[in-house]
Amino acid sequence: MTAALLTDTPCDVAADRAPHRAELPRVVGADLSVPVVDGSRVRYCDLDSAASAPALEAVAAHVAEVLPYHGSVHRGAGWTSRVCTALVEDARADVARFVRARADDVVVFTRNTTDALGLLARAVPGPVVTLDLEHHATLLAWRHTEHRVVRAGRTLAATLDALRTELTERPDAALVAVTGASNVTGELLPIPEIVRIAHAAGARVCVDAAQLAPHRRVDLAGWGADYVALSGHKLYAPYGIGALVGRRDWLDTAEPHLAGGGAVGSVAVDGDRTRTEWLPAPQRHEGGTPNVLGSAALGAACRELDPLIDEDVPAHERALLRRLRAGLATVPGLRVLSVFDDPAGSGDRTATVSFTLGELPAGLVAAALSAEHGIGVRDGRFCAHPLLERLTGGDAVRASLGLRSTASDVDRLVHALDRIARREPGWTYAIVDGRWAPTPDPRPLDGPGSGRPGAARGCGH
Ligand code: PLP
């Protein structure tokens, strides 16, 4: 029945043709099959790339190429040290180019976006303003500075007014930190407009691009924004790397984020104290042995995506999003969530959609999608508790599409949700260790690792 409904939707044909698909880079694991509870295996339908995306094949190949040369960075005269030092510095340049950094911006490698924002939090010289719709990474980074939260309104216009009012009435803010794209609804925030509002009040702007960078151009210089933070594992380079890119002055004078070897020019013991001469950024914040493979991977991902991120990636994802939204509209009781009643910015969004399904617990829906259909989605509150409180008063389900996604993935999700909504589950479920799970769960744990399924952590719930 769902299939029949889907073929009636006008966007189908265009999406099926996926005009840009052939040009998109392939990801590792695109053909992965997973067990389902009826004893069969199905191609894994990964609709959770907003949480973490697979590696591009080109990225994995580059890492394999680098591995034999793995060595220290900025520390050795040996050949591999020289190769690795060049790899890390080239990767810095690739990241800078990808986010359209200015010539005098600095790229600091971090573990991820959370770490990048933590670094900026050490550097910011005054109060920080955020919206309440943010991911916890942007909401919680500023524990050691004054932090003010502006409540987003029902419309984007009201939200920008509230931000303007806050910045005008208390003009001492040093920084506005804002997401480029919501990790819950995919709505894009109008960064150039936010930059104008913030700069008019004398505040700088940091864009949390964890969700934007894999899907749309980050244009630090074009927007006039001051900093951008991103995560490699969301950008098809899952090797424990992230970056903070932006204005040098605060970063050159801030307390070192990771103090230690590599971050100092000289150290002496003076009486019972150390006397240090810290290097400027980025070394100042990158103490310890750097993540060479991660940097190389992130640089490679940036090189691969740079020619595609303006048109091909958005075109692919927009076609799939149209198909997904049309399909979801046919599922009884399904409500798609939006932060704003008016379209945010251009009305464009990433292909990340959160929804509730009647009164069904989100965890149960996600468990059934995985157990019976081999579909991976996220359920919970997506590390955005204040926003989910406002939108649902509880949990939701999130499907997020990316380079790996196909029209058939979208159709599988819609078909599966339709069955679940019509109470046609093919299995029984119960709460086990605080999470909905199939009972019994006959799926063999045949992947790599200990063979024990990982327990979900609190953030999503
Ligand atoms: N910001 C947003 C909008 C996110 O969606 C996420 C992760 O989901 C983060 C920040 C944190 O990213 P990471 O966990 O890689 O530090």
Q: What is the pLDDT of residues 86-132, one digit of tens each?
A: 999 999 999 999 999 999 999 999 999 999 999 999 999 999 999 99
From 131, 135, 182, 354, mutation site for ligand 1 pocket: most ligand atoms within 8 A of C-beta: 135
Do residues 234 and 49 lie in contact, with contact meaning Cβ atoms separated by under 8 Å?
yes
Assign domain 60-305 one CATH number from 3.40.640.10, 3.90.550.10, 3.40.190.10, 3.40.50.300.
3.40.640.10
**Token pair for 51:** 């949480």
- Please work out whether the CB of residue 183 comes within 6 Å of at least one atom of ligand 1: yes
Do residues 178 and 137 lie in contact, with contact meaning Cβ atoms separated by under 8 Å?
no
CA 444 to chain centroid, in Å, comes to 30
Question: Residue 15: what pLDDT?
Answer: 42
pTM exceeds 0.85 for this model: yes
Kindly report, residue by residue over 351-364, the tens digit of the pLDDT.
999 999 999 999 99
User: Cα(113) to centroid of ligand 1, in Å?
Assistant: 6
Closest ligand 1 atom, residue 115 Cα: 16
Q: How far apart are CA 391 and CA 399, in angstroms?
A: 16
Question: Residue 7: what pLDDT?
Answer: 28
Q: Which of 240, 217, 243, 214 is nearest to 404 (CA)?
A: 214
What is the CATH code for 3-54+309-438?
3.90.1150.10
Question: Residue 65: what pLDDT?
Answer: 97
- Please work out whether the CB of residue 231 comes within 6 Å of at least one atom of ligand 1: yes
From 52, 113, 350, 398, mutation site for ligand 1 pocket: most ligand atoms within 8 A of C-beta: 113
- Please work out whether the CB of residue 350 comes within 6 Å of at least one atom of ligand 1: no
Q: What pairs with residue 175 in β-bridges?
A: 128, 204
User: Cα(52) to centroid of ligand 1, in Å?
Assistant: 9
Residue segments in the chain with a per-residue pLDDT below the cut of 50: 1-22, 461
Q: Where in the chain is the domain with CATH 3.90.1150.10?
A: 3-54+309-438
User: Cα(47) to centroid of ligand 1, in Å?
Assistant: 16
User: Cα(136) to centroid of ligand 1, in Å?
Assistant: 8
Q: Where in the chain is the domain with CATH 3.40.640.10?
A: 60-305
Kindly report, residue by residue over 152-182, the tens digit of the pLDDT.
999 999 999 999 999 999 999 999 999 999 9
Residues assigned a catalytic role? 383
Cis peptide before 440 (omega within 30 of 0): yes
Do residues 277 and 264 lie in contact, with contact meaning Cβ atoms separated by under 8 Å?
yes
